[in-house]
Chains A and B, each alone.
Chain A
Amino acid sequence: MEQNIDQAKLNYMNKRSRKILFVLFLSIALVMTAVISITMGASSVDLQTVLQVIGDVFARNDAITDIQRDIVFKIRLPRIITAILVGMALSNAGLLMQGIFQNPLVSPYTLGVSNGAAFGASLAIIFGASFSFLNFGQFLIPVFAFGFAVLTMLMVYGVAKAASDSSSTLILAGVAIGYLFSALVSLVKYLSDVKDLPELVFWMMGSLSGVPMAGIIIMLVAITVTMILMMWFAWDLNIMSAGEETAISLGVDYKKIKMMSFGISTLLTAVAVAFTGVIGFIGLVAPHVTKMLIGNDFRYAVPGSALVGALLLLTADTIGRNIIAPTQLPVGIVTSMIGVPFFLYLIVRKRGK
């Protein structure tokens, strides 16, 4: 009998090391994808050129032009970093929401945040000229998108609170308010001049290019801080999924953790959407893929889902940049086109077992 326990313990330990290995594997895969991605693009800058450009940093190489240097450092690198950060942010926002609301269908989109952000962006795009007194410059759209994303979350939370604090009312309120904002976006689109529509449509499809340095730093800070918090409270988050009563009886401050999760997922979604527009699907699928691969334990799922989200978005964007280059496919389209089949495959494989 003792042997049985030892065997089971070994099993458990093995599973744990497998999870750690998987996180490591994902990190390596992400680094490799990033390396491949930086050597691919619509211009002729390839692996060799990239190596020369990197070498040029240490010892001046006259064969390298300023444009080649800029393509590597000012265009591809920021874009790859943006893809990684946004993928991480959306995926972790989804992971948190799904855990806290005990509902596998929740994502930043289900709770209406993206629609709220889209409405903010549409106001900034269509009526931008009228807001010039605010002096936000190129940050006008991000600021509006961020503001409305947060406003949406507060509205959803307020409505849910006024009704009753259960998860299902929260989701219902989110879906309803999401519809309201999407109707408002349609209204703004409907009432707006034809000439501004492409910009709005473009924004609604999401784009990872042209995010200013300040935006990348803001995202980096937001992700670092929230990831530390999520890892710190990983056990509490694990237990949240068992429901309010169990969580409290196991010594978790349910209200505090819920508020914190709410704040974190709003922040992550809002910063990502603010700088890159509506990139669907990552927030729903990446956490599920992670859970299918390494389970629900937040201690592994947090880094895991960040890496899966980053990997998925970076792959999608690299494909989008190259498939019909120099024309670029909006990343949202590619994400869904590669993400959905992969997701369905995982579901079928899991059920088939």
Chain B
Amino acid sequence: MELSVNDLKFGYTKKTLVVKGISFSAQPGQLISLIGPNGSGKTTIVKCLNKILTPTSGNIALDGKDVKKMTAREMARRIAYVPQFTNSYLSGSVMDVVMMGRRPYIKWRVSDADVEIVLAVLKDLELEELAHEQFQELSGGQKQKILIARALVQKPDLYLFDEPISFLDIKNQIDIMELARNMVDKENKAVIMVVHDLNMAMRYSDQVILLKSGAVEAAGLPKSVLNQKHIKEVYGVDTRIIEGQFITPTYGREVSA
């Protein structure tokens, strides 16, 4: 599988473009992080890849085939999407929610194979205990993992994650990043992820694409992209990069009695 994006442009109106000509490609076994400040066009790019939004111009091809020419069902079998985490209302049990991911394969009747695939994925994620719980009653981290499980049962080649770890605690953040890493390393899938946390991007990505106002500021290996100069350029903040550390304590101090 190869996804190639060529001079992708998108604007809600003809005059003001949100994405101003982006090109990149993704191969199996790659985790690509899209990073950049709010409004830099990360989410918009992901939605274009997924045909949720229709690009103003440019070309997106999957193994050389223009996605515009693919049917919705065909797309859904090859690209899975995990939406930005919101506490959106979804009724039904965990099984029901994950089973939605089989929609690209199900005509009407749910086959035994579908049930088995769903349960296997839940087991892999150590979520089988939750299978018959109501989705709505789970914690935020559990919900997010269930939505990832839904993407997994789609059995796609490419996963799109839109800010999968925002609003989650550190344990869940690491869990989910490890999960994504697993898909890449063990299953040889491709993952394109929108992230805000530069530390996470640095640690887990194969490639990083740094965006500023809808254009690529820098792209390549995490180390070469996420340096002080680029971050200052794009975010306008000063940083210290400390190898092997997630958190730079700046304000913490002892509270005297």
Contacts and interface: CB of A to CB of B under 8 A. Distances in A.
B80 interface: yes
Contacts of B5: none
Interface string B11-55: 000000000000000000000000000000000000100111000
A238 B100 CA distance: 8
A242 B132 CA distance: 18
A248 B91 contact: no
A5 B95 CA distance: 13
A297 B123 contact: no
A241 B73 contact: no
Interface in B48-90: 50-52, 71-77, 79-81, 83, 88-90
B89 A250 contact: no
Given A250-B76, A296-B92, A5 B128 contact: yes
Interface residues of B, number: 43
A238 B135 CA distance: 14
Contacts of B47: 245
A58 B97 CA distance: 54
B72 A251 contact: yes
Contact of B103 (A12, A13, A15, A252): A252
A285 B51 CA distance: 37
Nearest to A243: B88
B119 A251 contact: no
B140 interface: no
B141 interface: no
A244 B72 CA distance: 13
B92 A295 contact: yes
A249 B91 contact: no
Contact of B131 (A8, A238, A239, A245): A8
A9 interface: yes
A249 B76 contact: yes
Given A9-B115, A242-B90, A296-B92, A251 B73 contact: yes
A245 B96 contact: no
Chain A residues touching B, majority SS: helix
B216 to A, nearest CB: 24
Contact of A295 (B76, B96, B104, B119): B96
Interface residues of A, number: 34
Contact of A235 (B95, B108, B131, B132): B108
Contacts of B97: 242
Given A12-B115, A242-B90, A250 B100 contact: yes
19 contacts: A8-B132, A12-B95, A12-B119, A12-B132, A232-B108, A235-B108, A236-B103, A239-B103, A243-B83, A246-B81, A246-B100, A248-B51, A249-B76, A249-B80, A250-B76, A250-B103, A251-B75, A291-B91, A297-B92
Interface of B: 47, 50-52, 71-77, 79-81, 83, 88-93, 95-97, 100-101, 103-104, 106, 108, 110, 112, 115-116, 119-120, 122-123, 128, 131-132, 154, 160
